[in-house]
Amino acid sequence: ESQERGFHLTHMLTTCKKGNDALEVYVAKFKAICDDLAAIGKPVGDKEKAFWLLQGLGKGYEPFVMAMLKPPVPSYKELVSLLQSLEVRTNFSILIPRPKLPSILNVKAKTDLGVPTIPHEGEDDTTEEDVEGDTTLIPLMEE
């Protein structure tokens, strides 16, 4: 029974995924599996814990995972701390309003009207026959 439980827990550890869980929920779930393995006499090594925790994060964490897998790989405890810092920074940057940056719109000069027109977003019904002369770039401020 203990061997079967060990196999089951090892499988759970190696297939544990963050998915849509909050980071703290994922880490707690992962830690519980590691604790259960230790309780039956099959503790998971520190580097293995770090590796499997990283593997379960998913595509959104790919740059972080790649950086963490380069030697020297951090300890499990360091990794959890780095993940928490990353999460705080990511959540913090979402809350901070970003400065308004100029955007460049392609304005086509229509000679028949003598006035440049700006196509609506996602719409450009201007044909080659409609456009004569230069295409001008005008910087505008986003609202």
Summarised one tens digit per residue, pLDDT across range 113-141 is 455 455 555 544 544 444 444 444 444 44
Q: How far apart are CA 51 and CA 117, in angstroms?
A: 56
Q: Quick one: pLDDT at residue 93?
A: 62
pLDDT digits (tens, 9 = 90+) for 7-25: 999 999 999 999 999 999 9
Helix 46-55 vs helix 76-95: crossing angle, to nearest 10: 30
Q: Quick one: pLDDT at residue 141?
A: 46
Enumerate the domain spans of the chain.
Answer: 2-95, 102-141
pLDDT band at 1 (very low <50, low <70, confident <90, very high): confident
CA distances from 123 to 36, 69, 126, 127, 129 (A): 59, 45, 9, 12, 17
Q: Is the pTM of this model over 0.75?
A: no
